[in-house]
Amino acid sequence: MSPPRAPSPAELGRAIVARLDELAQISDEPGKITRLTLSPSHRRAVDRTTEWMHEAGMTTRLDALGTLIGEYPGASAGAPHLLIGSHLDSVRDAGRFDGTLGVVAAIEIVRHLQQSGKRLPFGITVLAFGDEEGVRFLSTLTGSRAVAGQFDPKILDERDEDGISRREALRDFGCPEGDASADWQGQNALGFLELHIEQGPVLEAENRPLGVVTAIQGVTRGSCRVTGKAGHAGTTPMVLRQDALAAASAMILAIEGIARDTTGLVATIGQLRVPGGAVNTIPGHVEFSLDFRSESDTLRHEAGLRIQAAIADIARNRRVEAKLYLGYEAPAAQCDGGLRQLMAEAAEATIDKPVRLLSSGAGHDAMSFRGRIPFGMMFVRSRDGLSHHPDEFSSEADIGLAAATLFRTVLALAERHDELN
Ligand SMILES: [Zn+2]
């Protein structure tokens, strides 16, 4: 196979940003970007994206859970498919890059293949998922999970805050009825690639345009309830106090310390409640949330035990009771070593220097493919590490370099495929 003409990063960046600007106009809130899953604006984004897919030589369909699927055939009938994509839905008052970047970049790559009249030894399936942000319904990643062959009909009964069920929303959206996971063609899929904004400050801090993802971190979430003894702020001497808030503060600092001292672990206490708290009362009850993540599940489990022990220690010393509930857990999803290597080589050929490998602290559609097919991810630098915010920004230059890297990765996969066959 002679390789198709590779588009320049500048060319790719310009074309992609123009389309991102267009998608940014599609919103359910004037002056803001709000495109919740299965909303009227999500539908309009699907319609526009469908037109782009057709222009790029793809056939399209919408699956039972609202994922727009565009297919660009391979050189021969029955050729395997490479999946590339991200999501079109957004949070409320979102930025213009989160999700849409990965969809638009994938279409742009196919458009260039089609323009140069080349077919690869595999087809390309562009996936525009529609349920990544999890703002409207309880469950999230339902579209990518279904494409990965995992579908739980219970999600259809989930209701949004207006009482509309997901089943009704899917019907109104124009989705065909049936089991979306029936579409799964894992045996014929080479892998899944996703390009996404970093949503963190690492690449910017190191002045790098892009990075290759090693894994999507696993997460444990829970809460801790500390019970001491309420008392009068004036009449209870310090030595006789069982202050639940002071104890919780010590616990929070201990958890922070554990995370600081452990490379590859992050821990966050994002909520703290002092029920019935008053300026002149020693707090008797406190609750705080806990979220800790790592790309190593072993490290995360060990951290959970250390956190538990630290909390128990502090509770004993301060004569309070502490109950830690770790109720939610999602394992880490490792990116495929082969795809990571190809992406890293493609990145280094594009940016002409060693590429940064980093893990993803946020969840992404790619993790739905864990244990199903190999997947790889790439990040583009985010200004101020900001996302889910109207000021979210990645430059046209960085986007161009990332898309060129993705294009190179696809070509490298095609070459490898040719060699193997
Ligand atoms: Zn996203």
CA 98 to centroid of ligand 1, rounded, Å: 5
Mean pLDDT of the chain: 95
Residues 114, 365, 212, 81: what is their CA dihedral angle, to the nearest 10 degrees?
-40
What distance in angstroms lies between residue 317's CA and the mean position of ligand 1's atoms? 44
Q: Residue 71: inside a domain, yes or no? A: yes
DSSP, collapsed to helix, strand or coil, labels residue 135 as: coil
Task: Decide which of 299, 330, 361 is a domain's last residue.
Answer: 330
- Would you state the structure tokens that stand for residue 307, as one six-digit string? 């956190």
- Which three-class secondary structure state does DSSP give residue 150? coil
Based on the number of CB atoms within 10 Å of its own CB, is 421 exposed (0-12), middle (13-18) or buried (19 or more)?
exposed
**How many angstroms does the Cα of residue 247 sit away from the middle of ligand 1?**
37
Q: Cα(14) to centroid of ligand 1, in Å?
A: 21
Alpha-carbon torsion (7, 401, 92, 126), positive or negative: positive
What domain count does the chain have? Answer: 2
Same domain, 265 and 298: yes
Give the distance (Å) from ligand 1 centre to CA of residue 204.
18
Q: Ligand 1 mean position to 242 CA, how many Å?
A: 44
Note the pLDDT tens digit of each residue in 239-292: 999 999 999 999 999 999 999 999 999 999 999 999 999 999 999 999 999 999
Provide the residue range defining the domain that includes 28.
9-216+333-420
106-132 residue pLDDT tens: 999 999 999 999 899 999 999 999 999
Q: Examine the fold and report which residue of 330, 355, 385 is the final residue of a domain before the chain moves on.
A: 330
What's the CA angle centered on 359, arms 358 and 363, to 5 degrees? Answer: 140
Phi, psi dihedral angles at 371 (to 5 degrees)? 75, 0
160: nearest Cα among 169, 148, 152, 149: 169
* Shared-domain flag, residues 173 and 205: yes
Sequence-ordered strand ranges (E) for 233-374 = 265-268, 272-273, 281-282, 285-294, 321-330, 333-334, 356-360
Q: How far is the CA of 187 from the centre of ligand 1 (A)?
A: 26
55 domain residue, yes or no:
yes
Amino acid at 385: G
User: What is the distance in A from the centroid of ligand 1 to the CA of 129?
Assistant: 10
Query: What is the distance, to the nearest Å, from the Cα of residue 295 to the centroid of all Cα atoms in its chain?
Result: 14
Cα–Cα distance between 254 and 72 in angstroms, integer?
53
Which CATH number covers residue 106? 3.40.630.10
| CA–CA separation, 87 and 83 (whole Å) | 13
Residues 357 and 388 placed together within one structural domain of the fold: yes
**Beta strand 285-294 pairing with 265-268:** antiparallel
pTM of the model: 0.91
Please tell me whether residues 222 and 250 are part of one structural domain. Answer: yes
Query: What's the gap in Å between 47 CA and the centre of ligand 1?
Result: 20
User: Which residue from 201, 211, 191 is spatially nearest to 148, judged by alpha carbons?
Assistant: 191
Is the pLDDT at 3 greater than 70? The verdict is: no
Residue 1 has pLDDT above 70, yes or no: no
Residue 2 has pLDDT above 90, yes or no: no
Q: How far is the CA of 364 from the centre of ligand 1 (A)?
A: 6
C-alpha of residue 213 to centroid of ligand 1, in Å: 14
- 346/12 Cα distance (integer angstroms): 15
Q: What is the pLDDT of residue 319?
A: 97
Instruction: Calculate how far, in angstroms, residue 159's C-alpha sits from the geometric centre of ligand 1.
Output: 22
Give me the CATH number covering residue 242: 3.30.70.360
Residue with tokens 């509930």: 325
Ligand 1 midpoint to CA 119 (Å) = 30
Shared domain for 255 and 403, answered yes or no, is no
Rg of the chain taking only CA atoms, in angstroms: 24
Tell me, yes or no, whether 3 lies in a domain: no
Q: Is residue 4 part of a domain?
A: no
87 C-alpha to ligand 1 centroid (Å): 6
Average pLDDT over residues 387-405: 97
Q: Are residues 363 and 299 in the same domain?
A: no
**pLDDT at residue 218, as a whole number:** 95
